[in-house]
């Protein structure tokens, strides 16, 4: 079915509508079971009481009604979901009772993700998600055949890049050039050196016994232990599994991020979509010179670019993503009197403005350096409270399109006023040499 | 400092030409304050006065004193609001204790909104609100003359189109 759909694409007129992969309805069939399980997990005492009242026949009858009903719902919602790729848009038509049509403009695509959760990998299908500003969770195509998803991603990107409509589906996937790869050993070690991992593990090991001593109630202990264990697992093993085999690549389509041990994710961020980049440096990583790089793309969920890498490697990757940007080596600290506003921690703040970026750092133990290319600045604000006025200090905020605000705190008031004017000027002119939305034109 | 029609004053370049808000907003806010303070003072004076003796009616002075203080605050706040249309960006400055100055390049504007609530309409006022792709951008100019608000909206839209840039 999938292959025939795929083969049929070139022959059809441009607005031919397609359906999702026929495996799709089955994922809906799980919904009521998942809801019940979620309710049982949320309120174990109530669930047990309710279960004791039910007989096994009633349970069977309930399941016999619920599962086909959910299956029918799944089938109908699959039947009524269509999508089509036109020259400039991706159209998704869906909804059983309430019809909904989404037209997504291709030149405004911020990122395209192909994810393959474990079960979907077994079934040979994938989820395709298009990130645009203000997009809905519903605007993802789940599920498509694996081949079809790849072909569709390539086609969408080719059209978004501005290739001619006739040739768009023949362009195929652009070759990727690997920028960096995170070895599993380094990833495991970096997680061991993260405070959050140990914090959640100790919480999971200490809190339940203490509660047991205090209350002697199995349900209370279970109700707290399970979420704590879940959090501990998510922050250690879960992160390892999700960030396993992290590969960042570069292609004419933009940035490629592939990762995951069980659930594989392939993300493509077209050129010029990155709004901010953050270099995070936890305290324990500093001796090894490791950093984590996060990025913000408007409308995208994923925010990690590199889970762990040596600083030099990370900086060279950033230079590829934000062309012409070098990470400023030295930052200017706030004046000494800033200690009256923010004791001790004022030393963690810093600011550097280069030709291409506005860079502000904060945090003393866990340092975070945020970089905003001038071309991505939406507005600049200066704020000053009464206490800051007394010490002639002001904050400068730079707002970006990914709903992230980067703040240079505790600057000298006159410097801040100059900075405000200069930054407005820079962000206005920074646009001139930016690439067009259709980056191949 | 005028609120009338400018003769291309916004295009002077480096030196921003600041404009203040028309007095209508101050009048509206002060009137609202006076009305609410009057109601509160009446309640605070009558209730204890009738129930516990006429001396307790002195409680009415409390809302009145607060209103007098608020009267001054409103004046200061109103005076602190000002905006300037420069060649390429809009400047908005406001606040007395917590000062804030916002710069929005015209090219980044996604949407310009003119809103006017029922009370504002009664006083012949309208607000202009600018939206960029960043939700944190808080660029609102309240209490403008409707004609001025519309002029500003048209001018901003026009400039925004001329200098338009995406995300």
pLDDT tens per residue, range A37-57: 776 666 666 667 776 777 778
Centroid of chain to Cα A302: 1
A383, A423, A437 member nearest B166 (Cβ): A437
pLDDT of residue A12: 44
Contacts B97 to A, Cβ<8 Å: 385-386
Classify residue A435 by its DSSP letter: P
DSSP codes of every residue in A339-370 = GGTSTTGGGG-EEEE-SSEEEEEE-SSSEEEE
What is the rounded distance in angstroms from the CA atom of residue A382 to the CA atom of residue A395? 6
Chain A residue numbers touching B132 (CB-CB < 8 A): 378-379, 399, 401
pLDDT of amino acid B11: 42
> Mean of the per-residue pLDDT values for chain A?
84
Cβ-defined contact of A399 to B136 (cutoff 8 Å): yes
From A8-12, A158-162, A200-204, B119-123, the region with the lowest mean pLDDT: A8-12
A152 token code pair: 């569709």
Contact B107 A376 (CB under 8 A): no
Exposure of A214 in the CB half-sphere (CA atoms within 13 A)? 9
Q: Which of A57-71, A219-233, A247-261, A408-422 has the lowest mean pLDDT?
A: A57-71
Question: Tell me: the pLDDT tens digits for B60-74?
Answer: 888 899 999 999 999
Whether the pLDDT of residue A238 is over 50: the answer is yes
Alpha-carbon distance A418 to A12, whole Å? 59
d(CA A395, CA A10): 56
Q: What is the pLDDT of residue A166?
A: 66
pLDDT value of position A40? 67
Residue of B nearest to A430 (CA): B165
Q: Which of B133, B139, B159 is the mutation pick for testing A, counting most A CBs within 10 A? A: B133
Q: Which residues contact residue A218 at a Cβ distance below 8 angstroms, ignoring those fewer than 6 apart?
A: none
Stated as kind and residue range, the H or E segment containing A314 is helix A311-321
Give A98-137 pLDDT, tens digit per residue. Answer: 888 888 888 888 888 899 988 888 888 999 988 887 666 6
SS3 call for A305: strand
Distance CA A241, CA B11 (A): 57
Q: Which residues pair with B92 in a beta bridge?
A: B83, B102
Domain at A271-429, CATH class: mainly beta
Enumerate the β-bridge partners of residue A256. Answer: A249, A268
CB count within 10 Å of CB B18 equals: 11
Confidence of residue B109 (pLDDT cuts 50, 70, 90): confident
Helices A218-233 and A195-215 cross at an angle (nearest 10°) of 180
Nearest CA in chain B to A110: B167
- Bridge partner list, A128: A114, A141
Of B104, B107, B134, nearest to A401 by CB-CB distance is B134
Cis peptide before A143 (omega within 30 of 0): yes
Give the C-alpha separation, A311 to A286, whole Å: 10
Chain A residues within 8 A (CB-CB) of chain B?
108, 110, 133, 273, 275, 298, 376-386, 389, 397, 399-401, 403, 405, 420-421, 423-424, 427-428, 431, 434, 437
- Number of cross-chain residue pairs from A and B with Cβ atoms under 8 Å apart: 83
pLDDT tens by residue, A189-214: 999 998 888 888 898 889 888 988 88
Instruction: Say how far apart CA B67 and CA B32 lie, in whole Å.
Output: 10
Residue A133 Cα, gap to closest chain B Cα (Å): 9
pLDDT band of residue A165 (cuts 50, 70, 90) is low
Q: Look at residue A6 in the predicted model and tell me its pLDDT.
A: 42
Q: B107 contacts in A (CB within 8 Å)? A: 428, 431
- Yes or no, beta carbons of A434 and B99 under 8 Å apart: no
Q: Residue B12 pLDDT > 50, yes or no? A: no
Token pair of A361 as six digits: 């750092």
Pick the range with the lowest mean pLDDT from A50-64, A284-298, B45-59, B148-162.
A50-64
SS3 A192: helix
Instruction: Report whether pLDDT(B122) > 80.
Output: yes
CB contact under 8 A, B103 and A399: no
Question: Are the beta carbons of A401 and B167 separated by less than 8 Å?
Answer: yes
User: pLDDT for A336-375, tens place per residue?
Assistant: 999 999 999 999 999 999 988 999 999 999 999 999 999 8
Burial call B101-139: b when 16+ CB within 10 Å, e when fewer: bbbbbbbbbbebeeebeeebeebebbbbebbbbbeebbb
Q: What angle in degrees, to the nearest 10, is found between the helix axes of A44-53 and A31-42?
A: 120
Reported ipTM: the value is 0.82
Q: Domain ranges in chain A?
A: 2-174, 184-243, 271-429
Classified by CATH at the fold level, domain B83-162 comes out as: PH-domain like (2.30.29)
A174, A252 contact by CB (below 8 A): yes
At A47 the pLDDT is: 66
Nearest chain A residue (CA) to B165: A431
CA A246 – CA A121 distance, rounded (Å):
18
The per-residue pLDDT for A21 is 85
Beta bridge partners of B111: B131
Any idea where the domains of chain B sit in the sequence?
A: 29-75, 83-162
Q: Which residue of A376, A381, A437 is in closest CB contact with B102?
A: A381
* % of chain B with per-residue pLDDT over 70: 89
Q: Is the pLDDT of residue A184 over 70?
A: yes
């Amino acid at each position: 079915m999938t292959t025939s759909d795929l083969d049929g694409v070139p022959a059809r007129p441009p607005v031919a509508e397609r359906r999702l992969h026929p495996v799709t309805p089955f994922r809906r069939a799980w919904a009521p079971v998942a809801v019940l399980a979620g309710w049982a997990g949320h309120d174990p005492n109530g669930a047990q009481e309710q279960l004791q009242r039910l007989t096994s026949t009633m349970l069977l009858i309930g399941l016999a009604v619920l599962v086909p009903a959910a299956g029918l719902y799944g089938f109908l919602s699959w039947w009524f979901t269509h999508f089509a790729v036109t020259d400039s848009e991706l159209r998704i038509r869906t909804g059983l009772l309430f019809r909904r049509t989404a037209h997504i403009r291709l030149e405004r695509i911020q990122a395209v993700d192909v994810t393959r959760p474990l079960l979907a990998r077994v079934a040979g299908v994938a989820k395709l998600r298009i990130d645009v500003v203000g997009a809905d969770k519903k605007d993802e195509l789940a599920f498509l055949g694996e081949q079809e998803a790849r072909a569709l991603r390539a086609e969408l990107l080719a059209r978004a890049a501005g290739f001619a409509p006739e040739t768009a589906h023949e362009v195929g996937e652009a070759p990727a050039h690997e920028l960096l790869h995170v070895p599993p050993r380094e990833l495991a070690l970096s997680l061991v050196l993260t405070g959050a991992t140990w914090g959640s593990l100790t919480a999971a090991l200490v809190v339940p016994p203490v509660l047991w001593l205090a209350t002697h109630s199995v349900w209370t202990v279970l109700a707290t232990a399970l979420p704590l264990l879940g959090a501990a697992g998510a922050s250690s093993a879960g992160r390892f599994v999700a960030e396993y085999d992290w590969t960042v690549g570069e292609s004419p389509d933009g940035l490629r991020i592939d990762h995951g041990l069980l659930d594989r994710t392939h993300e493509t961020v077209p050129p010029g979509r990155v709004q901010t980049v953050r270099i995070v440096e936890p305290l324990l990583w500093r001796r090894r010179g490791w950093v984590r790089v996060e990025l913000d793309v408007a409308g995208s969920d994923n925010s990690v670019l590199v889970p762990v890498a040596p600083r030099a490697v990370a900086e060279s990757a950033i230079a590829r993503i934000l062309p012409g940007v070098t990470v400023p080596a030295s930052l200017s600290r706030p004046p000494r009197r800033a200690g009256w506003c923010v004791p001790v921690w004022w030393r963690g703040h810093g600011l550097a403005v280069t030709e291409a970026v506005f860079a502000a750092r904060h945090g003393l133990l866990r340092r975070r350096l945020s970089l905003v290319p001038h071309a991505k600045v939406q507005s600049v604000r200066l704020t000053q409270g009464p206490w800051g006025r007394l010490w002639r200090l002001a904050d400068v905020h730079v707002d970006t399109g990914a709903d992230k605000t980067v703040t240079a705190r505790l600057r000298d008031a006159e410097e801040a006023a100059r900075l405000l004017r200069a930054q407005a000027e820079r962000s206005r002119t920074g646009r001139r040499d930016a690439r067009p939305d259709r980056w191949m034109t | 400092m005028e609120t009338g029609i400018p003769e291309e004053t916004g295009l002077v370049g480096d030196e921003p030409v600041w404009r203040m808000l028309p007095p209508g907003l101050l009048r509206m806010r002060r009137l609202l304050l006076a009305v609410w303070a009057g109601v509160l003072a009446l309640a605070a004076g009558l209730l204890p006065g009738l129930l516990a003796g006429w001396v307790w009616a002195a409680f009415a002075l409390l809302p009145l004193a607060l209103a007098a203080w608020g009267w001054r605050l409103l004046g200061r706040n109103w005076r602190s609001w000002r905006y300037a249309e420069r060649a390429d960006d809009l400047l908005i400055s406001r606040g007395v204790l917590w000062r804030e100055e916002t710069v929005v390049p015209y090219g980044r504007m996604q949407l310009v909104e003119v809103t006017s609530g029922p009370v504002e309409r009664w006083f012949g006022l309208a607000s202009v609100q600018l939206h960029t792709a960043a939700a944190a951008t808080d660029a609102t100019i309240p209490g403008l003359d409707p004609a001025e608000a519309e002029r500003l909206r048209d001018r901003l839209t026009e400039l925004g189109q001329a200098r338009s840039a995406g995300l």
